[in-house]
A and B are shown apart, each in its own frame.
Chain A
């Protein structure tokens, strides 16, 4: 009889990182399908280019750094899909390509790869593109919504705006399967809506697809949000307040990206100041 001797615990929870990440890819499919339905071939090409650029860069970095560890594909796909969704359908294809390369090579791998990156790669690349090639990436803000345009917005130019409802659908899937924690989105929505109600501003732009994408897919990214319970709430709240602040001076879309990046940078600080104090026990009796 050959017996395995190893340290405890001997059982593991079934949820694995790769399952979680593939579920996020799955949840991103509704908005992608909606975008391809509305924008047809140009829309599809933007997403494909962005995903392909991410995957190729990932492979190239792995090759150059002679990495032995197996690199999961799912996070790369997530970055590629989110970046593609954030761009307008008429953008020249070299834009998503450069964005994908930047997201993986600079925003992710240069910081130590998946799990160690400080900034959300897709958002960092998107902001980089907006700052560098504004005319190729910015779209006029959407100011009006009704039920029909919430389902399918024929005036939309940005891929994610094709159908805010479908983004919500994917987000609800993540929420209902408990794959995302709620403290960050709750903090975020509080941070956004409380000041807006106080200021008496219109709530319309906040039904946009890009906003919903941020709530469910971007700020909930575990890698770039705090690990402590209080920290996550503060992070969400901070993101929300920053967005409102930006939206008072510039348009909402730019504000979303910059607010997330700024709060990403503060994550180590938030973690440090919200470190919980341990419960002390005399004996070890578990």
Chain B
């Protein structure tokens, strides 16, 4: 959409997919386009990037007012904070759920946003409900954050939004499990629930209420001099994010974008924050453990949220018996990483299952 030499404003569209259902890309600062080239991407590959030389002014485009809510949310560049997903906007839904439990270890972005922008989250959720025509909104929050729950309840008075305290558990990340647990707590059924997250609600608020495109990710940073959640414009390098928090406290030996359970380790800290970034974790001392033999302790079986037998899958995958892997439902694996995390013998179960899935191919 743009070429070298163009002047852009913050929030102007600089790239668009040929697929109309994919949100466009917006300039995150104002200035001059100096280069369009392949750069390292935090997901491990190279990607085409537009480099903008800042004019220092951060001049925004004119805010736009929504006509069709769904179209507006898409046009403002909002993606689901879970990753590459586009927002689930099924018009048949009766409930919109916000996952505010920070279910991932070392990630605390939900709480940070709700502490700072309570009202915006509630308004954002209301807009999401409006966009799909849902009558009901539910926010799940860690039951240990009693003050936060109270404050959110206070904020939600007079709206069709319920705040529910939930025990912190990693498996809250699975939309279906979350909505099942919430409907149990509320003792009422959801006909069709859409699960979204707190950062998404905040982005929707900014997009619709303020008319501003999505150019800024909210991310929690763990392992820099200061542990905090920060707002970073898309394209800010990880190095600068860490620098803003007092820099590294030693020589980092691993930088992980997003959850330590499923995120991706970076080979350099000069990769940019992207729209899907919600956390950084910096390790200074990485020890690599040799896996031992499986002793069938079945702890992976007990934690698997989708009822698989990860140890059997790992065993067959290592031996290349992928037909057996299929029989053990390898393709139902959601790659949450809980088995690898739990395994006391340090067997890289998720990796083995991934290998089996790749070998089986799609549609098997």
Interface residues, chain A, with chain B CB atoms under 8 Å away: 1-13, 15-20, 69-70, 72, 75, 113-116, 181, 222-223, 225-229, 232, 275-281, 283-286
Question: Nearest 7 CB-CB pairs, A to B?
Answer: A278-B332, A115-B293, A9-B337, A227-B298, A286-B173, A222-B297, A286-B336
Bound form: Cα–Cα A243–B302 in Å:
28
Residue B245 interfacial (CB < 8 Å): no
Knowing A17-B344, A115-B294, A227-B309, say if A286 contacts B105 (CB, 8 Å). no
Residues of B near A283 (CB, < 8 A) are 85, 175
Interface residues, chain B, with chain A CB atoms under 8 Å away: 80, 82-83, 85, 105-106, 173-176, 195, 251-256, 259-269, 281, 283, 286, 288-290, 292-298, 301-302, 305-309, 311-312, 328-329, 332, 334-337, 340-346, 348, 350-351, 354
Knowing A4-B254, A115-B293, A227-B311, say if A285 contacts B265 (CB, 8 Å). no
Q: Are B253 and A222 in touch, CB under 8 angstroms? A: no
Knowing A278-B307, A284-B334, say if A229 contacts B261 (CB, 8 Å). no
Bound form: Cα–Cα A279–B344 in Å:
25
Chain A interface, DSSP helix/strand/loop, else mixed = loop
Bound form: Cα–Cα A9–B170 in Å:
13
Q: Are A278 and B308 in touch, CB under 8 angstroms? A: yes
Residues of B near A3 (CB, < 8 A) are 252-255, 265-269
Bound form: Cα–Cα A12–B251 in Å:
21
Minimum CB distance partner of A116 in chain B: B293
Residues of B near A280 (CB, < 8 A) are 306, 332
Knowing A4-B286, A10-B256, A285-B174, say if A17 contacts B251 (CB, 8 Å). no
Q: Are A11 and B308 in touch, CB under 8 angstroms? A: no
Q: Are A222 and B267 in touch, CB under 8 angstroms? A: no
Bound form: Cα–Cα A167–B342 in Å:
29
Contact of A227 among B80, B296, B335, B345 (CB under 8 A): B296
Q: Are B174 and A17 in touch, CB under 8 angstroms? A: no
Residues of B near A281 (CB, < 8 A) are 174-176, 306, 332, 334
Shortest C-beta distance, B274 to chain A (Å), equals 17
Contacts A/B (CB < 8 Å), 9 sampled = A3-B253, A3-B268, A5-B266, A7-B348, A19-B344, A70-B290, A279-B307, A281-B176, A285-B174
Bound form: Cα–Cα A19–B346 in Å:
13
Residues of B near A285 (CB, < 8 A) are 80, 82-83, 85, 173-175, 195, 334
Residues of A near B343 (CB, < 8 A) are 12-13
Minimum CB distance partner of A276 in chain B: B307
Minimum CB distance partner of B351 in chain A: A7
Knowing A1-B251, A12-B289, say if A114 contacts B306 (CB, 8 Å). no
Bound form: Cα–Cα A8–B260 in Å:
7
Bound form: Cα–Cα A15–B266 in Å:
27
Residues of B near A72 (CB, < 8 A) are 292
Bound form: Cα–Cα A232–B211 in Å:
57
Bound form: Cα–Cα A16–B290 in Å:
11
Residues of B near A279 (CB, < 8 A) are 176, 305-307, 332
Minimum CB distance partner of B337 in chain A: A9
Shortest C-beta distance, A61 to chain B (Å), equals 14
Q: Are A286 and B335 in touch, CB under 8 angstroms? A: yes
Residues of A near B264 (CB, < 8 A) are 8
Residues of A near B106 (CB, < 8 A) are 11
Among B251, B298, B350, B351, chain A packs the most CB atoms within 10 A around the CB of B298
Shortest C-beta distance, A119 to chain B (Å), equals 13
Shortest C-beta distance, A255 to chain B (Å), equals 25
Minimum CB distance partner of B262 in chain A: A8
Minimum CB distance partner of A69 in chain B: B293
Bound form: Cα–Cα A18–B252 in Å:
29
Shortest C-beta distance, A264 to chain B (Å), equals 12
Residues of A near B80 (CB, < 8 A) are 285
Minimum CB distance partner of A278 in chain B: B332
Contact of B296 among A6, A7, A113, A222 (CB under 8 A): A222
Contact of B302 among A1, A225, A229 (CB under 8 A): A229
Q: Are A9 and B295 in touch, CB under 8 angstroms? A: no
Bound form: Cα–Cα A4–B254 in Å:
5
Residues of A near B251 (CB, < 8 A) are 1
Shortest C-beta distance, B304 to chain A (Å), equals 9
Minimum CB distance partner of B103 in chain A: A286
Q: Are B105 and A11 in touch, CB under 8 angstroms? A: yes
Shortest C-beta distance, B169 to chain A (Å), equals 12
Minimum CB distance partner of B83 in chain A: A285
Minimum CB distance partner of A284 in chain B: B334
Shortest C-beta distance, B254 to chain A (Å), equals 5
Minimum CB distance partner of A222 in chain B: B297
